[in-house]
């Protein structure tokens, strides 16, 4: 678990699930069941169209941080289908997932685009959740650290830290997402400690000690206790298990332990 000043963060990535009504209902269920003072931060990232209703349901509560799953790096313009950072800010969003592997593999996002997005989030006062992670073929080829290192450096290249308060990274091995498979605990710890070291090289000791590094990929109530206990794991980015209040809250409880 997070040492020192690092407060654990459990973030639900709802992906392309839950329209406005269902998303608001899940947000309400979470809000009703979360303890008043939790030892972990909790965030949810609904689909864009559900952000408004979820934000209204969460209004007035500090218990759940409103997140988004993506954004463009420009402030406005002719970019059909995209959402700009000030729009997220206006909707009450405080954290934004950037460079998720599904964006990279299904929608062609490259390191350069992800770096621009991270820098834009920082400029607009949004906390970026920069996702990195290797494909199964890359792990098999022994190039996990090379790939993850490149993604971290590219993601932070545009000068995210130290101007970026609260920067979050997420290690999500692509082959562990939605598959029920996870790396071993030592493998997770190795990559997390490597990521913290990369951040140290880029941004210095103080930011590296503060940055929260989440694990994502088939995290569930059963495996979360052990994963969250690793020294460089500061929380979780949860997909499937975040779509039910009971399983998500069990992971939050594991983080707050």
| Binding region for ligand 13P (CB under 6 A) | 13, 100, 172, 177-178, 216-219, 237-241
Q: Closest residue to ligand 13P, Cβ-based?
A: 239
Q: Which residue among 134, 138, 172, 198 is the active-site one?
A: 172
Residues 6 or more apart whose CB falls under 8 angstroms from that of 210 comprise: 5, 6
Residue 1 Cβ, how far from ligand 13P at the closest point, in Å?
19
Nearer to ligand 13P, 27 or 227 (CB): 227
Nearer to ligand 13P (CB atom), residue 203 or residue 245:
245
Tokens, residue 149: 């290192």
Q: Residue 107 or residue 163: which is nearer to ligand 13P going by CB?
A: 107
| Beta pairing class for 127-132 and 95-98 | parallel
What is the closest distance, in whole angstroms, from the C-beta atom of residue 169 to ligand 13P in the complex?
Answer: 12
CB of 163 to ligand 13P, least distance (A): 25
> Is residue 172 annotated as a catalytic residue, yes or no?
yes
Query: What residues pair up with 98 in beta bridges, in sequence order?
Result: 130
The least CB distance from residue 160 to ligand 13P, in Å, is 19
DSSP state of 240: G
Q: Are 8 and 39 in contact (CB under 8 A)?
A: yes
C-beta of 194 vs 215, nearer to ligand 13P:
215
Residue (of 73, 85, 7, 74) closest to 39 by Cα position: 7
- What is the rounded distance in angstroms from the CA atom of residue 56 to the CA atom of residue 60? 9
Task: Choose the catalytic residue: 100, 109, 192, 198.
Answer: 100
- Length reported for the chain: 257
Q: Which CB, 138 or 172, lies closer to ligand 13P?
A: 172
- 126 secondary structure, DSSP code: P
Count other C-beta atoms under 10 Å from residue 106's C-beta: 9
- The separation between CA 220 and the C-alpha centre of its own chain, rounded to angstroms, equals 16
Closest CA to 8 of 212, 242, 203: 212
DSSP structure string for 154-207: HHTTTT-TTT-TT-EEEE--GGGTTTS----HHHHHHHHHHHHHHHHHHH-HHH
Computed over its alpha carbons, how large is the radius of gyration of the chain? Answer: 17
- Least CB distance to ligand 13P at residue 45 (A): 8
The residues annotated as belonging to the active site are 100, 172
């Amino acid at each position: 678990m997070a040492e020192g000043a690092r407060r654990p963060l459990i973030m639900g990535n709802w992906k392309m699930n839950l329209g406005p009504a269902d998303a608001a209902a899940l947000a309400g269920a979470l809000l009703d069941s979360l303890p008043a003072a939790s030892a972990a931060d909790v965030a949810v990232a609904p689909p864009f169209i559900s952000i408004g209703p979820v934000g209204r349901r969460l209004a007035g509560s500090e218990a759940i941080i409103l997140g988004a799953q993506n954004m463009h790096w420009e402030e406005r313009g002719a970019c059909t289908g995209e959402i700009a950072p000030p729009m997220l800010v206006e909707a009450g969003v405080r954290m934004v997932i950037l460079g998720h592997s599904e964006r990279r593999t299904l929608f062609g996002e490259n390191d350069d685009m992800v770096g621009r997005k991270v820098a834009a989030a920082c400029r607009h006062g949004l906390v970026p959740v920069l996702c990195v992670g290797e494909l199964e073929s890359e792990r098999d080829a022994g190039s996990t650290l090379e790939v993850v290192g490149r993604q971290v450096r590219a993601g932070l290249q545009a000068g995210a830290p130290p101007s970026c308060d609260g920067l979050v990274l997420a290690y999500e091995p692509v082959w562990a997402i939605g598959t029920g498979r996870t790396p071993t605990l030592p493998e997770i710890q190795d990559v997390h400690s490597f990521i913290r070291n990369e951040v140290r090289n880029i941004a210095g000791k103080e930011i590296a000690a503060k940055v929260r590094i989440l694990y994502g990929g088939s995290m569930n109530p059963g495996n979360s206790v052990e994963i969250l206990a690793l020294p460089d794991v500061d929380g979780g980015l949860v997909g499937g298990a975040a779509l039910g209040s009971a399983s998500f809250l069990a992971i939050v409880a594991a983080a707050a332990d």
